[in-house]
Structure 1
Amino acid sequence: MGAETAHPSRVDAEDVARGLEVDPAVGLGVAEAARRLERDGPNELRGIPPVPIWRKILAQFHDPLVYLLLVAVAVSIGAWLFERADGSDSWPIDAIVIAAIVVLNAVLGFVQEARAGDAVAALSTMTAASSTVLRSGELATVPSADLVRGDVLVLGEGDHVGADARLLSESALRVAEASLTGESEAVGKRPDTLPGAAQLGDRLNMVFKGTSVVEGVGRAVVTGTGMDTEVGAIATMLDATPAHVTPLQRELERISRTLGLVVIGIALVVMLTIVLAQGVSTPADYVTVFLLGISLAVAAVPEGLPAILSVVLSIGVQRMARRNAVVKNLKSVETLGAASVICADKTGTLTKNEMTIERVLTASGEARVTGVGYRPEGEVLDADGRPLGGADRGDPDLGGADLGGADRGDPDLSDPDLSDPALHAEVLRTLGIGSLAGNAQLLEHDGVWEIQGDPTEAAFLVAAGKLVGTNGRVARFGRRGEVPFTSDRKMMSTLHEEKADGSLRIFSKGAPDVLLERCNRIQVGEAVVPLDEQRRRRAHEDVRALSAQAFRTLGVAYSHVDPGSTPIDESHEHDLIYTGVVGIIDPPRDEATAAIAEAHRAGVRVIMITGDHPGTAARIASDLGIVPPGSTAISGLELDRLDEPGLADAVRRASVFARVSPRHKLRIIDALQANGQIVAMTGDGVNDAPALKSADIGVAMGITGTAVTKEAATMILADDNFATIVVAVRQGRVIFDNIRKFLRYLLSSNMGEVLTVFLGVLFAGALGLSGASDEAVVLPLLVTQILWINLVTDSGPALAMGVDPEIDDVMARPPRGLTDPAVDARMWLGILSTGVVMAIVTLATIDLFLPGGLLPGDDSLAVARTAGFTTLVFAQLFNAFNARSETSSAFRRLFVNRWLWGAIALTVLLQVAVVQLPFLQVAFGTARLDAVHWLICVAMASGVLWVEELRKVVLRGLDRA
């Protein structure tokens, strides 16, 4: 049968019911429903078992850099065991420290990510707890989980739809589908069979699981439950969507591989150099050489990097949280800083998701309504910007104007503060009548304005409140009847009684073309005149003008009703008096325009992806500055006709995509990523969840977002504010800059240590080292001193740089490319040059105090080695200031980071202690230095600062060229 081969929306409702073997007038029998439930399973989404805690903990160790550190631990323990066999009673301090750092890093990562849940399981929270169905001819309330195919749903205002169903009948049924389709307005439903395939948002004869009824009643036969629903399809898509590795994770893996090769090379080259240069021959000398090679290899690995990285990212998470951006995954913190594209959902993200009247066109002209959202604050202005009136002018109950004719208690419109009395009267009637011809309510709770009912009807309440206050309709009119809206009639009317004299009026609103056909008069100021062809043509032109600006239009009319003609019906909706037409739109957020401009300044492209109408999407995108005025949107149907090369070209040139499905969003994200873009995707509805998971970073709305979007995303905006995304972009770039700072600092400092030992051994004779001792292997630094340098300089200063304030304007440069490394060629060159300068000043200091070298000296080897040791420590501290920027002077914003100054002061005190205190002298092989020695050490170490300042001057010149 057709119902078995075609989509239910394209099959007659009776045939769908027949194919499901159900009588729509009776519903399924209780026994048959139980049999189908047993056969098909409950109407629930398939969940994924939670990940055990032990697997989450082990996942924290799944990192190449951690692997490298664990190898260093193993090698250090092996060397320690070798020493113990040779009679040493020392402890494997370096292995213990590195192991502790690895464990600390895992704990930090686990704690930060502990609240991350399962996205597919969260989808089940969207299902209503219960549904009303027809069973054996009687209404019954059953758990939504017990719905089966063939059940007849009975829907009413406020109900949540428990399953996908084909509409059988309806009366003024309107369903909010924003969370599923992205459509900002409630959708009118009708049971008519669709002639062909349609996008999800255009299947007007279907209702879907997870949506809600905002108006009217209807009956529908269930065609899909559980994973066979549209929400279930999204759950399946979400489950199959792989999570992307963050750019930072990719870069750390690359750095780890590089460091692994460097470590092995260092160990081999240093050991071979010492053996060849110093004539090693005895087993004890070979052991010394081996231990030194291992120590240098371990020293070359910035063992504090994972823990420092986790701490810095955790601090970044806290900073972002204070700015309403909640990040769930540590390594995703900096990803927004790398984002080159932000794909933003329109409804609720770039807009307020609060329908607002912005224009009122009447016979006498045009009025503009200021203010957005449901808070009744703003003004109604004429074309010249003069106020038409307000709650403080005239009678507060809708201005005292007669809403039914010119012969009753008109307000005094001669007030010179009012712009145009005729326009004021017409706008007052249009907004007042529109606010009465509806069922919505506007409520205030603790200063927060909320609506109950249809958002479009609420827009009239808000606009009328801006003109005359919010209490007029309740005080003056009593409601006596209604002709409800239907998708066929495209209008509704209400009957009201004037409390003062008992007279009756009918107030109508609806599609302007439909309403105008029922009007034969028009309001002009306080007069009612015939609606001749010229005025009718002008009214239609007004409607077209608003539609061209992507406004949703509604016309408003009224008429007197004879007291004996109640109850009213459609026969009363004739010979109406037309008052005007309003333009309604879901307005952009005030702060979104500035945020988008800031994103563009930072080289970040903003793309709107929405399920809304293409014209509306293009208008909002133009207002926000995403695209130039007059631009058009690409629809989902157009995307379906594009092959992969065509789609790749479309995402390069277009920035607005409308009427798209979840599948389209995924295709757009994948195409952008295939073009080498780092993509951030924002959204609030369940339809956004797969795209959020597929994007490099998914950003969910914290207030309006569904549970699934929050779980699928890696970042949540607590204030639903698009501007917060741009703030997070800046913070992400600052975090990445700080990561580069401490990478530059750690790698260049470690390079200085390695080159000091390597060059010291290679040129031991020229420096006077060979003649200063009878040992076969004379080293410029002892192994314990190398480990001490790593301990005091690789922790505090590096961590302090991780929280460094913004030095350069991070939003003045384009985002880094997908393949751009964190440590690029220029940075590696700077690391090498800094390491060379550190080695030179350290070895020059040793030579200065040793006799027999290039420079005259008369101190002992212990003093000279201690001076070189101290110079290297201080050189690394000077390097901390160098590392804060690749091109800016170290003196720029020198004192803004008090943590860095504190870390340096602590390191200096520790170095003084290790040199001057006797028990530490024994442990680390140091000798006491006098004041002259200290001054020389500081002066020599500062050479790192001055050479780097000169290099930065050259770099700045090259960048300007």
Structure 2
Amino acid sequence: MPASVPGPQHDLERNPLPPFACPADQVVQELATDAAAGLSSAAAAERLAADGPNELETAPATPWWKRLFTQFTDPLVVLLLVAIVISAAAWILEGAEGAPIDSIVIFAVLLLNAVIGLVQENRADEAVAALREMTKATTLVIRDGRRAEIASSELVRGDLIALGEGDQIPADARLISADALRIIESSLTGESEPVSKSTDPVGPAAELADRTNMVFRGTSVAQGSGQAVVTATGIHTEMGAIAQMLASVEDAPTPLQREITKVSKVLGIAVLIIAVVVIVALVLLGNVHTVEDFIETLLLGVSLAVAAVPEGLPAILSVVLALGVQRMAAHNAVVKKLTSVETLGSATVICSDKTGTLTRSEMTIQEVATASGATMVTGVGYEPSGEVSPDLDRDGVPDTEKLSGELASEVTLVLSGGVMASDSELAQAEDGSWHVLGDPTEGAFLVAERKLGVQGSREGRFERIGVLPFTSERKLMSVFYADDAHGSITMVVKGAPDVLLELCTRVRVGDRSVPMNQDHRDRVLAEIEDMSSRALRTLAVGVRDVSREQFEATRHGDDEERAGRLGALETDFTLAGVVGIIDPARPEAARAVREAHRAGIRILMITGDHPATAGRIAADLGIAPEGARVLTGAELTALDDDQLKQVVEEVTVYARVAPSHKMRIVRALQAQGETVAMTGDGVNDAPALRAADIGVAMGVTGTQVTKDAGTMVLADDNFATIVEAVREGRRIFDNIRKFLRYLLSSNMGEVLTIFLGVAFAGILGLTSDAGAAVVLPLLATQILWINLVTDSGPALAMGVDPSVEDVMARKPRRPDEPVINKAMWSGVASIGLVMALATLLTIDIFLPGGLVAGNDSLTVARTAGFTTLVMAQLFNTLNSRSENISAFHHLFVNPWLWGSLALGVVLQVLVVQVGFLQTAFGTASLDLTHWGVCVAMASSVLWFDEIRKLIRRAAAR
């Protein structure tokens, strides 16, 4: 029974010897747990409450007031603070009458802008935190006598954890069993080679690297299996001790963020130069006569700087990326790093495994071939319902005869042997569904054995006493069982038929083992070929008797020597039979392949299966035409790097490929300039996933090591999810370009409005009633208002904009293509110029003199120009949704955008018509005629861009 009484904070503290110096059973006893059943759920809950979660301490969150303060450290904000001081100084020099309106308004807008920035940062942080929650590691534990998968953060001292190839070690633990177990400890000890582990105690003074009976948090299983009892969690682990010594390191900016920052700096420098030139020119031309003129001139420079640079752009970028990635996670594609989004949009090749990704991963034994004939197994999936019956006619329809005689004996040996040579378990959930804990292929044997009416072949008189785990190099798994009833030892092996067949000298016929002749061998090879041609995955099962003396001879020496002696026994097997396992293609996979091809993306299938199986599935899914070349791992090995570069341009299907080959394929594709996405699930896939531009780890069947190595995790292991992630990545990237196009063109419009307004003030009639030398087309406070109203809301709304264009109808973006290309800069400049001309012409219309004679005051004319610029920027949101497609296409698909536009209009009406806001922002009331002219002039931005897009579309055709 599982232990139910939790121990004190650290039971091992009572013992002066550390866990690695004590026998395993003593450690189990001191931790008040059970070596077979583990802790009870109640005991685990109590220990979790006492010790806290199994997590490393993170840096404390920055208080909100500090984060708010950092909003004021931006150079542009500092410039505005200087403007506040300048404005306050001018107010004092003028006699300090009334309130310093300009200073108060600028500070109020700055404060509001800082609060908005803080909210955006928090939103981005929350989205990223939610993503981290989705990619939390899990661990297979034994509690209450049952295996269960729990979050690694819920592990406690005394928990019994099961370890398998590719698992990430979640806590420090003492091994109580180890079967050819090798651990990669380079992250902790620096040891490059995997370390062989055993259960034997070591000296109490052993260094970390010499504690061969311990496994440590942050390391991973390279090979083998085992069980261990947790001795330390969280900061009490060896990794936790190191983490406490490390200083916090800030996240590096993404390439996209670096490019945006660079653009902002270039814009800032350019406009500062323009501002200085204008100020110096005004001074040298003798237009500055008084202190008031000088203050106005300085405020002009500040206005230009504020108008040019979208200071909220990095925060908006982070929010849009984080929200986009969160949407991808909701569709089962968990992108761990925001940087990967921009890479997804430019993926040109997807290298995908077959099993579980292009297929359902519902491994089901459909056929068993033995010496006496073929047997069909009905039913699909893990529910153990179906029949096992002879297939005498080989027409794919089970015969009605019941399985009996020699055939029944042979089939039973094959299926039960496959179960014995496995580590998986078949379990039924509370909702009645069945699932496999462990390898899906091993689960297929468990299900088929139950369909045969047999259960529990690993229990009863058999006791497992040794194992040689499956490796991708050997392609075999061998187990040793002691038969208590007969006092003998049986070795059961399962693995790739072509490998196992070479090790077989006999074949099972009924209950007899007879020598294998060439006729037997040819029949087996024909069976394998026939199954593979029908897209069945094949596995063979064999047995042999081992004497006590032979097995005892393997128990001497270290783990590596023992494994070598066990491996020497992998010969002289009796072939029991071959099974054909069906893993049907996902119905959505073919559609996803067509969609990827339409988007200019090549699909490569890379699998360890038989070439015939790989070719059949590839043809069914449309990855390769019928009869296309399938390159095998052996052929790939024979190619040098230059030859492989040529081959990868043509071959799309690779079979019998080892994980080490995946790295070569990735490198060869990248050498051709491709942007490569690579899928993987096993520990040996991790290097290829790291080498690929986009490493895609399987979330269901993938090992923790693979999930850590990948940049994206598929929560459903579905190939269609990868293609959908590419679509979403392209959409996110398009949306980033949308709000960049919008912000930059809008800010360009503000800069040109002020610059051209000052340069051509005389032509436009921009002079005050008193004839002051410096008259600005817009006030600094008005420019701040424009940035506040038009920057954040519409930009964020465009960040969640549905696709206006068919993003999968174009080729992938080149990796070297800048986010803001020449075409976008051209559009930004032209739209900004139209915006400025519309604003200045509106001012001219209402001012006396100038090009068009009006009869309104400077304040009214400036208010009209101010309103025109705001409205023009709101119209510009519709323009910016596409570089080529009309703004009227899919006009009403984004309610957030229309909401932000409506809010902008309402706020502009308030700032123009409400008395105290008029005082604050230097505006005056406008009548309906004024408003009509403002909207009409502002709409010129929309009509100009429609004509520009029409010309671009015509040129493209």
Q: 1:294 aligned to 2:302?
A: yes
Structure 1 residues 536, 287: closer, same or farther in 2, change over 3 A?
Answer: closer
- The number of equivalent residue pairs is 775
Match of 2:181 among 161, 164, 167: 161
Q: 1:889 aligned to 2:869?
A: no
Structure 1 residues 587, 533: closer, same or farther in 2, change over 3 A?
Answer: same
Q: Distance in 2 between matches of 1:324 and 1:873?
A: 40
8 Å CA contact 1:50, 1:118 repeated in 2: no
Give the letter for the 1:314 counterpart: A
Q: Distance in 2 between matches of 1:742 and 1:131?
A: 49
1:812-827 superposed matches below 5 A: 812-827=809-824
Q: 1:779 aligned to 2:776?
A: yes
Identity across the alignment (%): 51
Aligned partner of 2:553 in structure 1 is none
Q: 1:259 aligned to 2:267?
A: yes
Aligned partner of 1:210 in structure 2 is 221
8 Å CA contact 1:491, 1:514 repeated in 2: no
8 Å CA contact 2:629, 2:653 repeated in 1: no
Structure 1 residues 253, 302: closer, same or farther in 2, change over 3 A?
Answer: closer
Structure 1 residues 59, 367: closer, same or farther in 2, change over 3 A?
Answer: farther
Q: Distance in 2 between matches of 1:580 and 1:697?
A: 40
Q: Distance in 1 between matches of 2:271 and 2:380?
A: 61
> 1:667: how far off?
6.3
Secondary structure of the residue aligned to 1:720 is coil
Aligned partner of 1:188 in structure 2 is none
> 1:271: how far off?
3.1
What are the superposed Cα offsets for residues 518-569 of structure 1, whole Å, 9 maximum, x if unpaired? 569899xxxxxxx999898556433344467784254899xxxxxxxxxxxx
Give the letter for the 1:542 counterpart: E
Aligned partner of 1:226 in structure 2 is none
Q: Distance in 2 between matches of 1:302 and 1:544?
A: 65
Q: Distance in 1 between matches of 2:298 and 2:818?
A: 34
Aligned partner of 2:428 in structure 1 is 444
Structure 1 residues 270, 699: closer, same or farther in 2, change over 3 A?
Answer: farther
Q: 1:388 aligned to 2:374?
A: no
8 Å CA contact 2:90, 2:295 repeated in 1: no
> 1:910: how far off?
1.1
Aligned partner of 1:769 in structure 2 is 766
8 Å CA contact 1:793, 1:877 repeated in 2: yes
Q: TM-score, normalised by structure 2?
A: 0.67
Aligned partner of 2:88 in structure 1 is 84
Aligned partner of 2:75 in structure 1 is 71
8 Å CA contact 1:439, 1:454 repeated in 2: no
Secondary structure of the residue aligned to 1:821 is coil
Secondary structure of the residue aligned to 1:780 is coil
Secondary structure of the residue aligned to 1:770 is coil
> 1:315: how far off?
2.2
Match of 2:276 among 268, 271, 274: 268
Aligned partner of 1:717 in structure 2 is 714
Q: Distance in 2 between matches of 1:956 and 1:366?
A: 63
Gaps of 5+ in 2: 1-16, 25-53, 93-99, 140-151, 163-170, 186-192, 195-218, 228-249, 469-473, 484-491, 544-571
Q: 1:872 aligned to 2:869?
A: yes
1:226-237 superposed matches below 5 A: none
What are the superposed Cα offsets for residues 5-31 of structure 1, whole Å, 9 maximum, x if unpaired? xxxxxxxxxxxxxxxxxxxxxxxxx99
Secondary structure of the residue aligned to 1:716 is strand
Q: 1:320 aligned to 2:324?
A: no
Q: Distance in 1 between matches of 2:251 and 2:784?
A: 39
8 Å CA contact 2:387, 2:452 repeated in 1: no
Q: Distance in 2 between matches of 1:356 and 1:741?
A: 48
Q: TM-score, normalised by structure 1?
A: 0.66
Structure 1 residues 493, 76: closer, same or farther in 2, change over 3 A?
Answer: closer
8 Å CA contact 2:538, 2:578 repeated in 1: no
8 Å CA contact 2:739, 2:799 repeated in 1: yes
Q: 1:336 aligned to 2:344?
A: yes
Gaps of 5+ in 1: 1-29, 38-46, 133-142, 148-152, 166-179, 182-207, 218-241, 406-425, 497-506, 524-530, 558-573
Secondary structure of the residue aligned to 1:388 is coil
Q: Distance in 2 between matches of 1:723 and 1:52?
A: 38
Q: Distance in 1 between matches of 2:447 and 2:614?
A: 23
> 1:377: how far off?
7.4
1:454-853 superposed matches below 5 A: 458-460=443-445, 462=447, 470=451, 472-473=453-454, 540-546=525-531, 551-554=537-540, 582-584=579-581, 589-608=586-605, 624-628=621-625, 629-634=628-633, 638=637, 642=640, 676-693=673-690, 695-770=692-767, 774-853=771-850
> 1:301: how far off?
1.0
Give the letter for the 1:754 counterpart: V
Secondary structure of the residue aligned to 1:632 is strand
> 1:762: how far off?
1.8
Give the letter for the 2:598 counterpart: R
> 1:603: how far off?
2.2
Structure 1 residues 730, 365: closer, same or farther in 2, change over 3 A?
Answer: farther
Per mean C-alpha deviation after superposition, the further-off stretch among 708-717 and 798-807 is: 708-717
> 1:72: how far off?
0.5
8 Å CA contact 1:739, 1:802 repeated in 2: yes
8 Å CA contact 1:79, 1:291 repeated in 2: yes
1:36-435 superposed matches below 5 A: 52-53=59-60, 70-87=74-91, 89=100, 90-91=103-104, 92-93=107-108, 95-100=110-115, 102-114=117-129, 161=181, 163=183, 210=221, 246-272=254-280, 274-275=282-283, 279-345=287-353, 348-351=356-359, 355-357=363-365, 373-375=381-383, 388-389=397-398, 400-402=402-404, 404=405, 434-435=414-415
Secondary structure of the residue aligned to 1:835 is helix
Q: Distance in 2 between matches of 1:383 and 1:779?
A: 96
Per mean C-alpha deviation after superposition, the further-off stretch among 533-542 and 799-808 is: 533-542
Q: Distance in 1 between matches of 2:898 and 2:161?
A: 65
> 1:777: how far off?
1.0
Per mean C-alpha deviation after superposition, the further-off stretch among 832-841 and 599-608 is: 599-608
Q: Distance in 2 between matches of 1:647 and 1:464?
A: 44
Q: 1:951 aligned to 2:952?
A: no
8 Å CA contact 2:879, 2:887 repeated in 1: yes
Q: 1:905 aligned to 2:885?
A: no
8 Å CA contact 1:845, 1:867 repeated in 2: yes
Q: Distance in 2 between matches of 1:662 and 1:363?
A: 34
Q: Distance in 2 between matches of 1:164 and 1:684?
A: 17
Q: Distance in 2 between matches of 1:912 and 1:635?
A: 74
Q: Distance in 1 between matches of 2:831 and 2:645?
A: 44
What are the superposed Cα offsets for residues 148-171 of structure 1, whole Å, 9 maximum, x if unpaired? xxxxx9756xxx836599xxxxxx
Per mean C-alpha deviation after superposition, the further-off stretch among 868-877 and 120-129 is: 120-129
- The root-mean-square deviation of aligned C-alpha atoms, in Å, is 5.8
8 Å CA contact 2:748, 2:828 repeated in 1: yes
Give the letter for the 2:888 counterpart: F
What are the superposed Cα offsets for residues 570-604 of structure 1, whole Å, 9 maximum, x if unpaired? xxxx9x9x998543466654543433332232223
Structure 1 residues 698, 249: closer, same or farther in 2, change over 3 A?
Answer: farther
Secondary structure of the residue aligned to 1:210 is strand
> 1:374: how far off?
3.1
Q: Distance in 2 between matches of 1:887 and 1:49?
A: 50
Per mean C-alpha deviation after superposition, the further-off stretch among 508-517 and 940-949 is: 508-517
Give the letter for the 2:953 counterpart: R
Q: 1:931 aligned to 2:917?
A: no
Q: Distance in 2 between matches of 1:667 and 1:253?
A: 36
Q: Distance in 2 between matches of 1:451 and 1:623?
A: 27
Secondary structure of the residue aligned to 2:91 is coil
What are the superposed Cα offsets for residues 170-197 of structure 1, whole Å, 9 maximum, x if unpaired? xxxxxxxxxx99xxxxxxxxxxxxxxxx
Q: Distance in 2 between matches of 1:383 and 1:245?
A: 66
Structure 1 residues 719, 145: closer, same or farther in 2, change over 3 A?
Answer: same
Structure 1 residues 691, 931: closer, same or farther in 2, change over 3 A?
Answer: same
Q: 1:861 aligned to 2:846?
A: no
